[in-house]
Each structure stands twice: as structure tokens, then as C-alpha cells.
Amino acid sequence: VLSHNLYTVLCIPHDPVALEEHFRDDDDGPVSSQGYMPYLNKYILDKVEEGAFVKENFDELCWTLTAKKNYKPDRNGNSVISHQDAFKLWCLFNFLSEDKYPLVMVPDEVEYLLKKICTAMNVELNSCELDEYLSQEPQGQGGLTVWQFLDMVNSGRFLRGIEQEAVSMAVEEVYQEVIEDVLKQARRPRGYLWKKGQLRRNWSERWFTLKPNVLSYYMSEERKEKKGSIALDKHCCVEMLPDRDGKRCMFCVKTSSRTYEMSASDTRQRQEWTLAIQTAIRLQAEGKKSLHKDLKQKRREQREQREQRKAAKEEETQRLKQLQEEKERKLQELELLKEAQLKAEILLQEEEQRRRQQHEEMQRTLEIQLQEAEQARASMQAEMVLKEAEAERQRKRILELEDMQERLQEALQQEVKARQDEESVRYAQARLLAEEEEKLKQLMKLKEEQEEYIIKTQLEKQVLKQEMESKNKCLEEAQKQLEEVRVNRQRVDQDVMAAQRKLRQASTNVKHWNVQMNRLMHPIGPGDKRTNTSGGGFAGYQPLLFQRDSSLKLKQKAEDKGSSPTRVNSKENVSNGGNSGMPPSPDADTTATEPTN
């Protein structure tokens, strides 16, 4: 059954006779892998022609044979990826794994694939968490098998919090890009491109898919109805066009037979499509059929170069370590030689030092003896010189003593004279001190008298100040009383003036009535002359008037004396006048005013 399915999927003619002939002498039967592998290589795989079969069907057959036994999804249905997505990841694993059995994917390729999937979902991969996971696996550093890889993805450790639909879309996109060699395809929501028709020249909306050798376009994103394709080779080119016909962000693909005009939804989409088409044309020019196969080969070469560099580095490190060990061994030998040489030098130095000490001792002994002889000779010479010097000093000393005696006598005379002068000066100084002490006593006495006078003056000043304050208070009270007296005096003066006016009026009336009464009292006879009496009025009425005037003046004087020391007497003439004939009363005379104090 396996052979029949492989013949069918790989499009090879069936040969059942070869199967029976191959396993005729095999005791283990067809289930023996050692017996089946030579048959598989000789009668099936060697007859396969590239491009004659659909690789996806072959992958599905292999997945069906292996997944049932090895793939273990979550039985509760909580797997991160679906069964179809697991198949696509299995295909991606087979593409990116190393070309040796058993198939494993190195950690760099695992990280590359996970990054591609996360980039398709706009999610950043946590590389530290991936490294930690690989370090925990027993064989993680050497690589992962496909079933370990699928278990890692299904654990949700790197796709935490992402919906299954988003993961499925990302896996589909990476699968198309890597396995189906889709360099670029339109993306939702504005993934369609507008294409200009060749015959009717109208614009149609199409879903485009780019592979290294062809640019295909469909009616919709399901890619069920293919509308056409554009074959790409190294002679094709892509150019940007200006906006026209109501379309913007235009570009064209020029082939050897035709020019295809297209319009993108925005400038960024046009830039991405032109770069992708240029990449496809470059691959055709370089003779490469798959971009990711080339990238995989480059990554493998880079890993091999890294491994080579690492191995070379380790070899260099080992060589340096050996050189270091050799160097340390030689250094140890050199240290031993140095120690032996040092010991020989120490012995030689000790011998040399011993000979030198003996020579130095002999030399010191001779030097001591020579020094003692020199010292004896020098001491004798020194004693002679000292004795001569002592004699010379004695002579000089005698001369100096004689000279000193003369100077002492002169000094004694000068001292006697100075003492006499000092006695006279002391006597004068004592006299001056006595005088000064007497003057000081007088001065102290004067000072005490002055202090007593100052104290007395201050006391008198205080007394005067108190008296002045009391007088000032009395003066203020007197001024207040004076003001009151002045006010009262003005009021009295007004009353007096009013009384004087009334008095003058009464006097005038009295004069008139006196005249009338005189006429009545002495009637004029015929032939009698009118005589002027000295009284000039009614004799019985005058004492009454004089008494009234006197009482008024006495009242005015009493008021003036009681009001203030300043008294003003009013001069009032209360006489009856020259024409009345009455003698003036003594009380009616004019009074002189006294000056105001």
C-alpha cells in the first residue's frame, strides 16, 4: 500500500513485479526498514522527475503516515494551532531542517521561523524566553525535532493571548512565502490592485500573487478563479507611472511582449510591489528558482562559517593554552636555574665578603696604629702651640688689665660725680613731688567742693523746676481766670454803657422837668426879669439824682476791683450842663483811670 501511494503521488508508473522480486529472498519481509530503503531509493526515488508531481500531495502523504503516531495535540481541543496549521508547520520544518537524518532544526532556524510568524501577526518574539526554553530541553542546544517543535508551539508559551484565527493566518502567510515561493501577495483590507485590460482598456480589480517566475492575478483572494499571469524573466522591468485616467499610484511591468499597467491603493503599496517584482526579476537574472532556498543556504553557510570560526577560535585557544603551559614549564625551569645561580652567587658573595672582611680588619689595624702615631705627634705640636699661645695670652692679659685699671679709675670718678648729681636731682625731685602732692590735695579738695556745688545746684535746679512748674500751673489758672474776668468785664461794660445811656436820657429828662418846675414855682410877674440860679434846676430833686449816680459809680468800681488787677474807670460827666444852671455834684466829676498792671 505504501509503495502504491508513493507511485501515485510521485506520478511514477507502477511496477509490482519489481516489489515482489526485491523482497523474495528477504526473511524479514517488507516491514523491514533495512530491506525497504534500498527498494525505495532504487525503484521509486531514483525515478522521480522534478516538477512532474505536486509536492503538496507528497507532503500530505508523509504527514498522514507520521502524524498519527507522533503528533499529540491537546485532547480537550485547547491547541493553539489547528491540524492543518500543524501540517503547514511540519512542511516548514522539513524545509528549514538540516539535510541529515534524523531531521532536526537548529535553534537559529527555530528563532527565524518563529520571528516570521510573529512578524506576520505584528507581534514581537521574546528571544530570551526562547533561549530559556531551548536550554531546558535535553537536546535543545543541538536542535529540535519536528514533534518537539510542534509541542513547543502548541504549548502557547510564545503565542500567549493570540487567537487561533490570527495564528492560522500568520502560518498560512509564512507557508505561502517559504514553501510556495510567494514573494508577495495582496493584503487585506486594501490588498487588491487595479489592472488595465489590453483589449477593452478598462480597469479591473484583481488579487495578485507574486512568485519568482510569474505574477498571477485572480478574481478574489480565495484564488479559485485565475484570470491570468505575467511571466517574469531577466529581460523584464518595472517602472512607476504618473497619475492619469483617474487612477493614482500607478506602475507598469514591461515584458518582451507586452506592458501591464497597474494601480495601487497608496504610495506605500506601490513601493512594496515594485521592490518585490524587482527582487523576482533579479532572482531570474541570477538563475535562482527560490528566494528562501537561497536565504536558507546563506544562513547555513553563515552558521558553518560561525562554527568554523568557533572551531578555529577553540583550536587557537587550545594552542594558546598549550603554549601557555609550555611557557609556564620553561618558566619553572628558568626559575630553578635562577635559584641554582642565586645559590652559587650567594656562596661566592659569602667567600668574597669573608676575604674582604679579613683585608678590612688588617687595614683598620694599620690605620689605627698610624692614627695613634699621628695623634701623638699632633698632640705634642698642639701642646707647644698651646703653651706659646698661653704665654701670648698672658702678656695680652696683663696689658688689658693695666688698661682696664685706668679705665676703672676714670669710671669711678665719673660715678662719684654722677652720684653727686643724682643726689641733687633727687632732692629737686622730692621737692617737686611734695609740691605736686600739695597741689593734688588742693585739686581734690576743689573737686570735692565742685561736686558738692554741682549736687547742690542740681537740687536747687530741681526745686526751681518744681516751683516753676507750680508757678506755670498757677499762671495757667490765673490766665484762665483772667480770661473769665475779661469776659465778665466786657459783659459788665456793656451793661454800664447801657445804664449810662439810660442815665443820660434820664438826666436830659430831669433837666427838662427842672426847668418846667422852676417856671411853675416862680411865676414871672409883669415887669420882672428872669434870673439864672446857680443851682440850675429843681433843688429838691438834685440830691436824689446825685445819690443815684454815686451808687452806680460805686457798683462799677467794686466790679472792676473784683474782676482783675487791671481796672479801667470810665469817665462820665453827669453834670446838668452849663445851660441848666445847676452846680455840678462832686460825685459827678471825671475820674482818672489807673494803669493796668
pLDDT at res. 519: 75
The mean pLDDT value for 325-339 works out to: 91
Residues 6+ apart with CB under 8 A from 207: 185, 186, 191, 192, 217, 218, 219, 220, 221, 223
Residues 6+ apart with CB under 8 A from 98: 104, 105, 106, 143
CA distance linking residue 520 with residue 315, whole number of Å? 187
Q: Which amino acid is at 374?
A: E
pLDDT at res. 554: 58
Omega into 543 within 30° of 0, i.e. cis? no
138/160: higher pLDDT = 160
229/593: higher pLDDT = 229
Instruction: Dump pLDDT digits (tens) for 505-560.
Output: 888 888 888 888 777 776 555 555 554 444 444 444 444 444 455 555 555 565 55
In this prediction, what percent of the chain has a pLDDT beyond 70? 82
The mean pLDDT value for 283-303 works out to: 81
Instruction: Dump pLDDT digits (tens) for 403-418.
Output: 988 989 888 888 888 8
pLDDT at res. 275: 92
pLDDT at res. 238: 92
pLDDT at res. 237: 92
The kind and range of the H/E element at 425 are helix 291-521
| pLDDT over 70 at 61, yes or no | yes
The mean pLDDT value for 472-490 works out to: 88
Beta pairing partners, 241: 250
CA atoms within 13 A on the CB side of 255: 13
Instruction: Dump pLDDT digits (tens) for 223-236.
Output: 888 888 888 888 89
CA distance linking residue 21 with residue 31, whole number of Å? 15
For residue 591, give the 3-state DSSP assignment.
coil
Q: Provide the CA 121 distance to its chain's centre, in angstroms.
A: 42
Among 72-76, 395-399, 418-422, 495-499, name the one with the lowest average pLDDT: 72-76
**Which residue matches cell numbers 481766670?**
481
Full-model pTM: 0.48
Beta pairing partners, 240: 251
pLDDT at res. 585: 40
The mean pLDDT value for 83-102 works out to: 84
Instruction: Delimit the domains of the chain by residue range.
Output: 320-397
Among 91-95, 125-129, 261-265, 569-573, name the one with the lowest average pLDDT: 569-573
Instruction: Judge residue 540's burial from the number of C-beta atoms within 10 Å of its C-beta, 0-12 exposed, 13-18 middle, 19 or more buried.
Output: exposed
Q: Helix, strand, coil: what percent of the chain each, to 5? A: 65, 5, 30
Q: Which three cell numbers stand for residue 481?
A: 481766670
Report the mean per-residue pLDDT for the chain: 80
| pLDDT over 50 at 575, yes or no | no
Instruction: Judge residue 511's burial from the number of C-beta atoms within 10 Å of its C-beta, 0-12 exposed, 13-18 middle, 19 or more buried.
Output: buried
CA distance linking residue 185 with residue 273, whole number of Å? 9
Residue 77 Rama label (left phi>0; alpha psi -120 to 50; beta): left
pLDDT at res. 253: 92
